[in-house]
Amino acid sequence: MGTLIYSMITSLDGYVADRDGNFGWAVPDEEVLETINRDTAGVSTFLYGRTMYETMRVWETDPAIAGQSPRSADFARLWTRADKVVYSTTLPEVDTTRTRLERRFDPDEVRELKARAEGDLTVDGPTLAAHALRHRLVDEVRMLLCPVTVGGGRPMFPDSPLDLRLRDLRRFGNGMVQLYYDVGTGTH
C-alpha cells in the first residue's frame, strides 16, 4: 500500500504562488534539489490538477530544464518514469509518458490507487490537494518552506482544520526548511 503525500514548496506565510501567480522565489538550489530527488525516488504516481501538470510537464518536454544540472537531470528521470494522473475537465489531452487524464476526482479511485501502489503517491497543487484532504486521503504533508513572505496569493492549505504531527525536519544552507508531517485522523 502506498502513502499519499501532499508536497509543496511554500513561502513562510503559506503561499505556493504570490498574488500574480509567480513562484520564482521557490526555485530550489542544488542541495534542496538533492533532497527533493531523494524524496521523489520512492514515488510511483503523481496526482495533478491541470495547472500543476502544465507546470511540471516541462521536466519531460523541455530538455533545457533537465539540462540545468545533474540533479535536475536526475529529477527529470524520476518524474518521467513515474505514473501521472491528471484531473481536469478542461485539458484536451496529455502529452507526457505514463500519463492518463481523468475528468473528475474520484476518492474511491484514489483509495484503490493507494491500495495497489508499489511506491508512494503525491498529490501536488493546492486545489487537488484540498479535495484529497477533505476526503481524508492524505497520509503525509511535506512543506518546503522558503525564507520569504509574499503577503498573499494561492494558499497551500484549504480553509479547513488539519491535525498535523511533525515527524521530521531538514534545514538547508540557503535558509529553506523542509517539514515532514503525518496527518492525524482528527481535527484540532
Task: Give me the tens of pLDDT residue by residue for the chain, a chain 188 residues long.
Answer: 899 999 999 999 999 999 999 999 999 999 999 999 999 999 999 999 999 999 999 999 999 999 999 999 999 999 999 999 999 999 999 999 999 999 999 999 999 999 999 999 999 999 999 999 999 999 999 999 999 999 999 999 988 889 999 999 999 999 999 999 999 875 44
**Per residue in 23-49, pLDDT tens?**
999 999 999 999 999 999 999 999 999
Cβ contacts of residue 187 below 8 Å, gap of 6+? 160, 161, 162, 163
Measure the CA–CA gap between 87 and 105, rounded to whole angstroms.
6
DSSP structure class, residue 2: P
**Inter-residue contact 53 to 123 (CB < 8 Å):** no
Paired residues of 142 in beta bridges:
7, 180
The structure's pTM equals: 0.93
